[in-house]
Amino acid sequence: MDEKLRAALAAVQKPGRYTGGEPGCVYKEKDRVDLRFAFCFPDTYEVGMSFLGMKILYEILNKRENIWCERAFMPWVDMKRQMEALDIPLYALESKDALSRFDVVGFTLQYELSYTNILAMLDLAHIPLYAKDRGEDDPFIVAGGPCVCNAEPLADFFDLMMLGEGEVQLPDVCDTIIQGRREGLSKKEILKRLYKIEGVYIPAFYEVDYLPDGRVAAITAKEGAPAVVRKAIIADMNSQPLPENFVVPMIGAVHDRAQIEVLRGCVRGCRFCQAGFLYRPMRERNADMLSRAGQNLCANTGYDEISLTSLSTSDHSQLETLLDDMLEWTPKEHVSMSLPSLRIDNFSESLVRKTTAVRKSGLTFAPEAGTQRLRDVINKNVTEQEIERTCSLAFDAGYTSVKLYFMLGLPTETLEDVEGIADTAQRVVELYYQNPNKPKGRGVQVSISVACFVPKPMTPFQFVGQDTQDRLREKQQHLLRSVKSRKISVSYHDSRTSFLEAVFAKGDRRLSRVLEEAYRRGCFFDSWEEQFRYDTWLEVFRDLGVDPAFYANRAIGLDELTPWSHLDYGVTKDYLVREYQKALNARTTPPCNRQCSGCGANALLGGPCFAYN
Amino acid sequence: MRTIRVWFTKTGEASYISLLDLQRVMQRALKRSGLPVWYTLGFNPHIYMTFAAPLSLGQESLCETVDFKTEEDGYDWDAAAPVLSACLPKGIDVVRIAPAALDANDIAGAAYAVRYAPRDAAAARAAWEAYNAAPSAEVVKEGKHGKTKTIELKTHLPTARLLVEDGGLTALLRLPAGNTLNVNPVLVLGWLEDASGLPVTAGRILRTDIYTKTGEKFS
Ligand code: SF4
């Protein structure tokens, strides 16, 4: 570790974020590999180290002898200041080499409010922000993750984006770059080979024209690139081994535990949920494979907690078997299990028993909307009775606190739906006091957490405009007035961050200057309340003559060309339109494992998604 | 039940692991190593561990210790050292594992080497010689609850020995450490910064030994 770095570390709050050296991290001889990859997470170390995707790809790339994958995170404000003052370029934690010396620098795009951090990280690494300004010696700057389904606001900064699942695609991209370099090809020539890989999108090879009113007129592919880029997918999840080694953070990460991904995708089809549409169709892993991988992972990392992760773990068809298999080894190896995404409607008594056998924590549920009508609109197929049944079960089992998640600003929402949120919480409180088996002498605590709805691309709600901030604040106030019990606490999100999120979620390429200018004026870590500078953002929009409401609050016509219409995640636009119209009539759609509704994603597998009998 | 003591280094990257984090790191490493470690009973079983005289963040050491308990007799602890080492992060190497001979409460002092790079060597020599020659060296130590205390460093460290190593300079000091009285070497470096302008960060602090009240090495 060099002296400048030691001086910087001596001056910051949490130096452990910037040192690397954790158990499980991989070191290689840099001269003996063909490609060096820097996996960048554009948020703090603690947030990034919780992210399973990075662990999966870190293991896959490092299994390859000729590739060395390292990690980099966004330094917190104090460290950023030190690095600028001492002229320390942003480095990867393993080798401490500057990112500019890498062959590929890859960012994962998990949420829109991390976009300015990407610019800050490139800048800290002394890498030119715009793809057009970078030379042959600069690394390829690439992106993956859910937000690439419409990362058009970042299109000008990236050489390449990867749609879909990276397990096979990312090594293919690396191999193509290695091969191209070996043949002495230019970056552009290499890019022209890369777009042949499933899901690879080269933004510079697409030209976007706009109508006078600001909507997209046409998106034209150039340089022989495909007119439509279709996401990459792992057809059989059992073909992909789970990571059995994690880099184990030494300073506590947000999710600091072993994780096994039990399934990918979701059968539910909640109409607001982008992940649910991006990862279609749902695919499971065998219980047997999962339990074994989990056991090895705990043995290799020393973790004493394992989480069964996915969008909807309790939809796994062999969940009970899986839990039983895991209970064979978890108690004697001092490991506790947690299920982060339990669903109300199939929360069974035996599930309660098996997961609390080792660990008892508060329960969280997400009804998302306060009335049955609105839940039908969003296709969150949870009934009042199910909520009540689940809470009774939980209270029987000794739980005394329940956290309920809702959204405000959903399409067709009225003030009556808002009151429904308070009513739902109130009924949970009453259920507790009516329960004869409730823990003696203890009260109940029901907390409601309310997010603002953000319409997202690739979902049936991509067409709707977001409620204005005034309207959202009005609804928040109405909710606060509707809550009558002291046992209920309410927390809600800042509508300003949700507004910005909507702008960048549905934005187009004209927003890259906005991002750059906002970053130049000091915006980064926008998802951190203490760093969020809303006024600066508004000034930037005004100074550059860009109307953010055009992106966030305007409804998109059903026949309009969206900025993301050249990107294909398997679900057809027809289906999105159909689902949207059903939503307006409060008509629900059954989950995929019960009945196929023909979204089109089965084409990605080349056959039906489920064996219905 | 016996108490087993692990001696380990904490250098480079590992010097930035705080005590709280070190507890978690050690817990996991012991678990991974498969050594016969005793777990507390009850709802949330964990390994019972105690660290003696923990270091400040950023300081390095060749002689850290952690104790755990075992119910095993006649275990080959010598063979266990490399096994545990392999489960620990970069910069933490297990030097020795053996049944504890002394009580951690017996610790009374520690030896440190403060190292300066060649380009700081001349300034460091001047600063340290000024310390050695000074009749008194008082510093104010911030205590808990905002209380402050004035300490005369000279009663604990009359002089430091200076060594030239690879063109750089090393100052050797011995200071009180342990439960009753602990003088952090940073206090001395702070005095040097105030008196001679030698920045605290110029010196790299390495703990080399731990002693008991009677002056023997802690074991
Ligand atoms: S094709 Fe049918 S079963 Fe498959 S994801 Fe789409 S709706 Fe679900």
| Ligand 1 centroid from CA A232, angstroms | 17
A171 and A257 share one domain: no
Sign of CA pseudo-dihedral A173, A176, A182, A184: negative
Q: Is A170 inside a domain boundary?
A: yes
A189 and A307 fall within a common domain: no
CB neighbour class for A442 (10 Å; exposed up to 12, middle 13-18, buried from 19): exposed
Distances (CA, A) of A199 to A153, A233, A277, B72, B152: 19, 9, 16, 57, 69
- Of A230, A262, A295, which residue sits at a domain end? A230
β-pair partners for A452? A408
Q: For residue A265, which atom of ligand 1 is closest to its CA?
A: 5
Q: Which amino acid is at B142?
A: E
Q: Nearest chain A residue to B59 by CA: give it.
A: A10
Query: Do A186 and A323 belong to one domain?
Result: no
Give the mean pLDDT of A172-195.
97
What integer pLDDT is reported at residue A346 of this predicted model? Answer: 53
The answer on A247 and A197 residing in a single domain is no
CATH of the domain at A296: 3.30.750.210
| CATH topology match: B2-101 vs B106-212 | yes
| Chain A interface includes B175 (CB < 8 A) | no
pLDDT of residue A355: 59
pLDDT tens digits, residue range A571-588?
A: 999 999 999 999 999 999
A551 neighbors A216 (Cβ within 8 angstroms): no
Strand, helix or coil at A75? coil
One domain, residues A303 and A198 = no
Q: Is A280 found in the same domain as A164?
A: no
State the smallest CA–CA distance between residue B199 and chain A in angstroms.
10
Which residues lie closer than 8 Å to A175 by C-beta, 6 or more apart? none
| ipTM for this prediction | 0.84
CB neighbour class for B3 (10 Å; exposed up to 12, middle 13-18, buried from 19):
middle
Q: Is B36 on the interface with A (CB under 8 A)?
A: no
The boundaries of the domain holding residue A186 are: 3-230
Check CB contact under 8 Å for B24 and A250: yes
Mutate to test the pocket of ligand 1, among A311, A596, A604 (most ligand atoms within 8 A of CB): A596
Q: Count structural domains, chain A.
A: 2
Let me know if residue A539 belongs to a domain. no
CA of A163 to the centre of ligand 1 (A): 19
Residue A133 sits in a domain of what CATH number? Answer: 3.40.50.2300
**What number is the average pLDDT over the span A168-188?**
97
A205 in the same domain as A116: yes
Going by C-beta distance under 8 Å and a sequence separation of 6 or more, which residues neighbour residue A167? A56, A57, A60, A234, A240
User: For ligand 1, is residue A278 a contact (CB within 6 Å)?
Assistant: no
CATH fold of B2-101: Alpha-Beta Plaits (3.30.70)
**Residue recorded with tokens 């709707």:** A464
**Cα–Cα distance, A158 to A144 (Å, whole number):** 11
Q: Which of A200, A230, A260 delimits the end of a domain?
A: A230
Q: How many Å apart are CA A132 and CA A125, to the nearest integer?
A: 17
A100 and A214, same domain (yes or no): yes
pLDDT digits (tens, 9 = 90+) for B1-29: 899 999 999 999 999 999 999 999 999 99
Residues A367-384: pLDDT tens digits?
A: 999 999 999 999 998 888
CB B160 within 8 A of CB B173: yes
Residue A221: count other Cβ atoms within 10 Å of its Cβ.
Answer: 16
The phi and psi torsions of A601 (rounded to 5 degrees) equal -70, -20
* Cβ distance of B32 and A302 shorter than 8 Å: yes
Query: pLDDT tens-digit profile of B50-70?
Result: 998 889 999 999 999 999 999
Tell me: pLDDT of B219 over 90.
no
Classified as helix, coil or strand, B168 is: strand
What residue in B sits closest to A303 (Cα-Cα)? B28
Q: Is residue A462 part of a domain?
A: no
CB B78 within 8 Å of CB B144: no
**What is the pLDDT at residue A343?**
52
pLDDT exceeds 70 at position A348: no
Q: Which residues fall within 8 angstroms of residue A441, CB to CB, at 6 or more apart?
A: none
Question: Quick one: pLDDT at residue A352?
Answer: 61
Please indicate, yes or no, whether residues A258 and A223 belong to a single structural domain of this protein: no
Instruction: Give percent above pLDDT 90 in chain A.
Output: 82
* Domain map (residue ranges) of chain B: 2-101, 106-212
Compute CA distances A437 → A26, A397, A501, whole Å.
52, 8, 44
Distances in Å between the Cα of A36 and the Cα atoms of A69, A106, A171, A383, A430 are: 6, 11, 12, 51, 59
**pLDDT at site A226:** 97
Predicted local confidence at residue A334, as pLDDT: 84
Interface membership of A303 toward B (CB under 8 Å)? yes
* Residue A304 sits in the same domain as residue A160: no
Task: Give the Cβ contact number of residue A307 at 10 Å.
Answer: 22
pLDDT digits (tens, 9 = 90+) for B71-89: 988 889 999 999 999 999 9
Compute the average pLDDT of residues B119-135. Answer: 95
Higher pLDDT, B165 or B6: B6
Q: Whose CA is nearest to atom 6 of ligand 1?
A: A599
What is B106-212's CATH topology?
Answer: Alpha-Beta Plaits (3.30.70)
Residue A332 located in a structural domain = yes
Task: Please indicate, yes or no, whether residues A69 and A137 belong to a single structural domain of this protein.
Answer: yes
Evaluate if residue A359 carries a pLDDT over 70. Answer: no
Check if the beta carbon of residue B109 is closer than 8 Å to that of residue B103: no
Q: Is A597 in the pocket of ligand 1 (CB under 6 A)?
A: yes
A-chain residues within 8 Å CB-CB of B16?
Answer: 9, 15-16, 19
How would you class A209 by CB atoms within 10 Å of its CB: exposed for 0-12, middle for 13-18, buried for 19 or more? exposed
At A200-245, the pLDDT tens digits run 999 999 999 999 999 999 999 999 999 999 999 999 999 999 999 9
Asked if residue A137 and residue A34 are part of one domain, the reply reads yes
Q: With contact defined as beta carbons under 8 Å apart, do A217 and A210 qualify?
A: yes
Residue A487 within any structural domain of the chain: no
Q: Of A211, A230, A249, which residue is a domain's last?
A: A230
Sequence-ordered list of residues with C-beta below 8 angstroms from that of B210, at least 6 positions apart, any chain: B52, B53, B63, B65, B107, B109, B110, B111, B177, B217, B218
For B16, which of A15, A301, A304 is closest by C-beta distance?
A15
A441 inside domain: no
**A601 close to ligand 1 (CB < 6 Angstrom):** yes
Q: How many angstroms away from the CA of A239 is the closest CA of chain B?
A: 28
Ligand 1 centroid–CA A585 distance in Å is 21
Q: B-chain residues within 8 Å CB-CB of A358?
A: none
